[in-house]
Amino acid sequence: MGPGGPGSGWTLAGTLLVAVAASMVAGGEDCLWYVDRNGSWHPGFDCEFFTFCCGTCHQRYCCRDPLRLLTERQQRHCLAF
């Protein structure tokens, strides 16, 4: 048994697989316009290559962290509610 215990290699591999899949899916995920908590309107913007829209309904930015990904579908849901 290695230092990480049984299955620890699979956990890392699974995390990497999710990260790669999210970045591939998010290739066209740019930030749509939004209204912040103060009611100020912010125009949409494009993220650079290998980055995607992250944040919340009221604050958006570009990042590389797939766990913070905010898809265009989620962004449209923010606009509806």
Residues 57 and 78 sit within 8 Å (Cβ to Cβ): yes
Per-residue pLDDT of the chain (81 residues; tens, 9 = 90+): 545 555 555 666 555 455 555 444 445 569 999 999 999 999 999 999 889 999 999 999 999 999 999 999 999 999 877
Residue with tokens 């797939």: 66
Point out which residues pair with 69 in neighbouring strands: 54
Burial of residue 52 (CB within 10 Å: 0-12, 13-18, 19+) is buried
| pLDDT of amino acid 32 | 96
pTM: 0.62
Q: What is the largest CA-CA distance in the chain?
A: 56
Point out which residues pair with 58 in neighbouring strands: none
Domain boundary assignment for the chain:
29-80
Q: Which two structure tokens, joined as six digits, stand for 76?
A: 């449209």
Q: Where does 7-71 have alpha helices with state H?
A: 8-25
